[in-house]
Amino acid sequence: MFDFTNKVIVVTGAAGNLGRAVVEAFLAAGGTLCALDHRQGRLVEMFPETSGRLHIYENVDLTDRESLIALGEQIQAEAGRVDVLVNTVGGFAMGERVDQISAETWARMMNINVISLLNAAAAFVPGMLTAEQGKIVTVGSGAALKGGAKMGAYAAAKGAVLRLTESMAAELKASNIQANCILPGTIDTPENRQAMPNSDFTKWVTPEQVAQVILFLSSPASDAISGAAVPITGRS
């Protein structure tokens, strides 16, 4: 359905449930993948038979801007100019009222959700500006649209991801770069099944379904779409 032949795609958080599905989907569509993850060995274990179209980068600290910019230069040298940036990295926390939110919780939510996006943009958007083309897809949440009880830090972080994505869309549109944010519902993962064993899993959205939406937003079919917040909620 999608053809990413001769396109270079960077996926952050590539060893996560969603990240892995995104990497696999782009590989199946002919893309050249640069898979980034902070864990050592996970990607090599997931993709033991790497082809020339899969470049693995582990021990990546997305909160370290200087090292990520250096990695961006390395990626361009090894794989070529980056056409698509998919930022799947994110984290969730809840349980504290707003007046109880600790500095640790706030910092963790901002680092993993917001700082990671800012640094990835710093590393890869300049190359897109030079090429005057590119696609950016960020992963938000329904919490980006409305705060909820005892999840203020998470909602604030995902709200920031959405607003930053909208700002990038406005800033980059003149250079033919589109930026969009997806808002998945509950994703059907082993961790979510364990955490919510009494739920109806058939109503959840699968990582593969989310990945297909990401491929659409990374393809020429979405050239007229930028600054969107796209809900992906399955039947929930």
Are 35 and 57 in contact by the 8 Å Cβ rule? The answer is: yes
**Three-state SS at 173:** helix
Please indicate, yes or no, if residue 3 is contained in any of the structural domains: no
Q: What's the mean pLDDT in 147-174? A: 96
> How many domains, in total, are found in the chain?
1
Q: What's the mean pLDDT in 169-192? A: 94
Confidence of residue 50 (pLDDT cuts 50, 70, 90): low
pLDDT at 149 over 80: yes
Please indicate, yes or no, if residue 12 is contained in any of the structural domains: yes
CB atoms within 10 A of CB 56: 18
Supply the range of the domain harboring residue 60: 8-232
Greater confidence, 191 or 57?
A: 57
Please indicate, yes or no, if residue 2 is contained in any of the structural domains: no
Are 38 and 45 in contact by the 8 Å Cβ rule? The answer is: no
The pLDDT of residue 187 is 87
- Which strands make up the sheet holding 8-12, listed edge to edge? 54-57, 32-36, 8-12, 84-87, 134-139, 177-184, 229-232
* CATH number for the domain harbouring residue 108: 3.40.50.720
Q: What's the mean pLDDT in 77-88? A: 96
Please indicate, yes or no, if residue 1 is contained in any of the structural domains: no
Q: What's the mean pLDDT in 5-20? A: 97
Q: What's the mean pLDDT in 215-232? A: 97
Q: What's the mean pLDDT in 97-116? A: 97
